Amino acid sequence: MTTTHRADALLTADDLAARALRQRKRRRTTLSIDAFLMVFGFLMVLPLLLLIGNAFKTPQEMVAWPPTLVPNDPTFANFRAVLGDTPLMRWMLNSFLFATMSTVAIVITSAIAGYVFGKFRFRSLNLMFLVILATAIVPFEVYMIPLYFQVQSLGLLNSIWGLLIGYLVMSFGIFLIRQNVIHSIPDELLEAARIDGAGEIWIFWHIVLPLLRSALGALSVLAFFQAWTAFAWPLIVATTRDSYTIEVGLALFQTGFTVDLGRLSAASTIVLIPSVTLFVILRRNFVQGVAGTGLKE
């Protein structure tokens, strides 16, 4: 729109008319793209909105045909019932502790391993890195059965510690930090510090970690969500009512005896709130972290 005015002066009236037409056409295309993306985005979140709507419905409205999309007579009864009948808050707490501890463990292990693999060039280290690279491809579901017996032999079944053992390290986290170390920490900086007599631990703590802050932030968001939404592992490791994570508790709650959809939706809504809120707040970090996964090579 703000193209040079001098060029306009040299154009004939016909050219101007043609350009105006093109511009109008372009604006119409833009507008229809916007409209399409709006509608599509709305449809993407619609299932979750419907779920939240159901949470506020009375049992009578829940079975009405045709189904209503927005509750006519919103009620909090479902929330009260589900919070009273199930240890939902306990399950949330379990999930929260599990996810937090897993995040801490993953951030620590990834920061150390990523830094060492990124900045220390020794052949023996390269070999270890290759082993990690090779095992990174193996999905968790493949080796979770032996891991279950390891947890069992430690007597940690049905505890948060047992859950944690499956989520102590994240190969992708090591790659992500290594990549960041290589690209954003110049060797000269570290050499200068060494010449000034700084020890290796001091360098890691006072130079490397501050420079990795945003990468570690992105990684922690990813790690937290990974543990928060874990399903198969908690399902086999935490099998008592008190040790369920929220996902497992909810899934088993819905297969259990007579459950009405209103209460299920209320429970689901309560579960969705923290993850979606956290995502909206940390959107930038999250997208940065996920985008990092695509740049592996």
Partner 1 sequence: MLRRKRWIFAILALLPVLLVYGWVRIFPIGEILRLSLHKWDLLSRNKPFIGLDNFRELFQDTLFQTALVNTAIIAFGVLLVTIPMAMCLAALIYHRTHARFAWFYETSVFIPHVASLVPAAMAWKWIFDARLGPLNALLGVFGVEPKAWLFDPVLSVVAIIVLCSWQALGYAVIIYLVGFKNLPHSLYEAAKLDGATPFQAFRFVSVPLLKPITLYVSVVTLVSAFNVYAQVFVLASDAQGAPGRQVRVLVLDMLENAFRNYRIGYAASEAVVLLVIVLALTLIQFTLLREKGGRR
> Interface with partner 1 includes 294 (CB under 8 A)?
yes
Residue 18 or 69: the one with the smaller Cβ distance to partner 1 is 69
Binding positions for partner 1, 192-211, rule CB under 8 A? 194, 200-201, 204
The Cα–Cα gap between 215 and 177 comes to 7
Sign of CA dihedral 112, 118, 122, 127: positive
| Tokens standing for residue 68 | 């209503």
Residue 9 or 107: the one with the smaller Cβ distance to partner 1 is 107
Q: Look-up: residue for tokens 């897993």?
A: 102
Of 23, 72, 184, 229, the one binding partner 1 (CB under 8 A) is 229
| Tokens standing for residue 269 | 């809504």
Of 228, 238, 244, 285, the one binding partner 1 (CB under 8 A) is 228
Of 20, 70, 232, 281, the one binding partner 1 (CB under 8 A) is 232
Q: Quick one: which segment of 8-16, 176-184, 211-219, 279-287 binds partner 1 (CB under 8 A)?
A: 279-287
CA atoms within 13 A on the CB side of 135: 11
The CA-based angle 213-218-222, given to 5 degrees, is 140
Residue type at 218 in one-letter notation: A
| Tokens standing for residue 8 | 């306009």
Binding positions for partner 1, 20-59, rule CB under 8 A? 30, 33-34, 36-38, 40-42, 44-45, 47-48, 50-51, 54
Binding positions for partner 1, 146-175, rule CB under 8 A? 146-147, 149-150, 165-166, 168-169, 171
